[in-house]
Amino acid sequence: MQTLKLTVNSKPMHAPDIRPHTTLLNWLRDQGLTGCKEGCAEGECGACAVLVARSNEDGSTRLESVNACLVLMGTLEGQEVITAEGLGAPGALHPVQHEMAVRGGSQCGYCTPGFVVSMAAEYYRPEREEGAAHGVHQSRGPNGFDIHALSGNLCRCTGYRPIQDAAYALGSPAEGDALAERRRRPAPTPQAVHLSTPDGDFHRPTTLSEALDLLDAHPAAKLLAGGTDWGVEVNIRHARAPVTIALDGLAELRTLTWHDDSLEIGAGLPLTEIERRLGDRVPLLAEWFPQFASRLIRNSATLGGNIGTASPIGDSPPVLLALDAGVVLVGKSSEREVKLSEFFTGYRKTVMAAGELIKAVRIPLPLAPTIGFFKIAKRRFDDVSSVAVGIALELDGDTVKRIHIGLGGVAATPIRGTKAEQALTGQIWNEKNVRAAARLLAAEGTPLDDHRASAAYRAAMLEQTLLKFYFEKSGKGVLV
């Protein structure tokens, strides 16, 4: 069995006899690095947060926070990890640890190491120091600290005000700060891995052709992208796969390319990186990103993974359906594009053939100028949608030239609101026509009653969402 080699807190370490489903969290705790805690085991509490070194476009390194409970050890060959213990020590606290201490940011302390790690990731974010603001719906302190960097960390006893005070008190890294200096050197490159154990095989190829050869030989293999879905299955349901193929080391899946008639986004590019590279150039995506899970999750999650799970409540399909996106599928001998509206065939089922994987998402250009994303959930942020709606509209004067409406949470698959689209296309964009289309939208899909919402509520939210979009975008006030 391959012995994994990685760097933890600047020290080379070996991980022999690793099983395919061993998480970074469990391995770290076995090494005595117990600042990393298990709270929820599904990426919602942040108690297990660690920093990983990742490559920047310019060849430098970014220090990004991830949930160690969702990271499988097989993806860490040759990589660098920093835990709360690696930031500072008693008598030599890191600035983040110091501010948390002096401002009362910790009581029981269980969640504190995770908060410290997420805060450190934002502390070392180059754009914060430069004072650059990007994205939408972001809350920033006077020092440029984006408090949403902590959105995936939960505290049940301290209260968030002292933690926010600590975040907003941070200055810039001092001269000679080791981690600030580390950013100037390249990040580790992905390394190939093959773990073969009685529990199954784990492969981490480093080229797309290698991945397709493996998938051709093991068509039923579990494809691992960001791990934010499969990691939950491993932890909570104790799921195991005979063969796992990790796709995070494939440069061919981590591209973002503008063409004359389309934007192509690699299926393996983490959402945070897409957000950073795009800025506000795709307004509907810019509006959606902050509402997708937390920063910890977005640092790992990918479009390919979110689409590939074929969940009816995944948040990216409604947005991509509104953008009329296509999915680029690649196999060992062919490549094809399928419109996302034709990609899902049933609950957790797609048109993907054996041996195929998602290579990219392709968004046609030009983009519709008027957009909206509406997520109805029990919490404003970091929650699963009861209903999600993406809308993209283009008018020709007062007439609807085109409108695409993507819906999630109202059927066995994400769907388009085709009846409402057809009712509005070519019609005057006015209250009468929108109300008629909204009634049709309420009848779309086959919503169910469950613990998140009733079928009647979901239908009502579809109707109200289109009306809200009309009144907000038309500047005619808020619907009452």
Mean of pLDDT over the chain: 95
Residues 301 and 390 in one domain: no
Dump pLDDT digits (tens) for 27-78.
999 999 999 999 999 999 999 999 999 999 899 999 999 999 999 999 999 9
Residue at 329 is within a domain:
yes
Report the pLDDT value the prediction gives residue 1, as an integer from 0 to 100. Answer: 65
Report the pLDDT value the prediction gives residue 133, as an integer from 0 to 100. Answer: 45
Q: How far apart are CA 25 and CA 36, in angstroms?
A: 7
Three-state SS at 67? strand
**Counting Cβ atoms within 10 Å, is residue 44 exposed (0-12), middle (13-18) or buried (19+)?**
buried
Q: How far apart are CA 87 and CA 441, in angstroms?
A: 52
* Residues of the domain holding 143: 1-188
**Counting Cβ atoms within 10 Å, is residue 264 exposed (0-12), middle (13-18) or buried (19+)?**
middle
Say if residue 340's pLDDT is above 50: yes
Report the pLDDT value the prediction gives residue 136, as an integer from 0 to 100. Answer: 37
DSSP string, 148-167: GGGTT---SSS-HHHHHHHH
Please give the tally of structural domains in the chain.
3
Dump pLDDT digits (tens) for 443-453.
999 999 998 89
Residue at 34 is within a domain:
yes
Report the pLDDT value the prediction gives residue 426, as an integer from 0 to 100. Answer: 98
Taking the CA atoms of 279, 283, 286 and 289 in sequence, report the sign of the dihedral they define. negative
What would the two tokens of residue 337 be?
């594009």
Q: Which are the contacts of 441, defined by CB distance < 8 A and separation ≥ 6?
A: 405, 417, 419, 420, 462, 463, 465, 466
Residue at 237 is within a domain:
yes
Amino acid of residue 189:
T
Taking the CA atoms of 75, 80, 83 and 85 in sequence, report the sign of the dihedral they define. positive
**Counting Cβ atoms within 10 Å, is residue 282 exposed (0-12), middle (13-18) or buried (19+)?**
buried
Residues 299 and 401 in one domain: no
Q: What is the pTM of this model?
A: 0.95
Dump pLDDT digits (tens) for 253-268.
999 999 999 999 999 9
Q: Indicate the pLDDT class of residue 2, thresholds 50, 70 and 90.
A: confident
Closest Cα partner for 43 from 16, 24, 21, 18? 24
Q: Indicate the pLDDT class of residue 307, thresholds 50, 70 and 90.
A: very high
Report the pLDDT value the prediction gives residue 382, as an integer from 0 to 100. Answer: 82
Q: How far apart are CA 296 and CA 154, in angstroms?
A: 12
Among 188, 208, 242, residue at a domain's last position: 188
Say if residue 134's pLDDT is above 50: no
Residue at 479 is within a domain:
no
Are 308 and 391 within 8 A, CB to CB? no
Among 126, 157, 188, residue at a domain's last position: 188
Q: Indicate the pLDDT class of residue 476, thresholds 50, 70 and 90.
A: confident
- Domain containing residue 411: CATH number: 3.30.390.50
Buried b (16+ CB within 10 A) or exposed e, 391-418: bbbebeeeebeebbbbbbbbbbbbbbbe
Q: How far apart are CA 135 and CA 291, in angstroms?
A: 12
Report the pLDDT value the prediction gives residue 477, as an integer from 0 to 100. Answer: 60
Residues 175 and 246 in one domain: no
Say if residue 474's pLDDT is above 50: yes
Q: How far is CA 396 from CA 370, 426, 427, in A?
A: 12, 9, 10
Among 367, 401, 416, residue at a domain's last position: 367
Residues 202 and 322 in one domain: yes
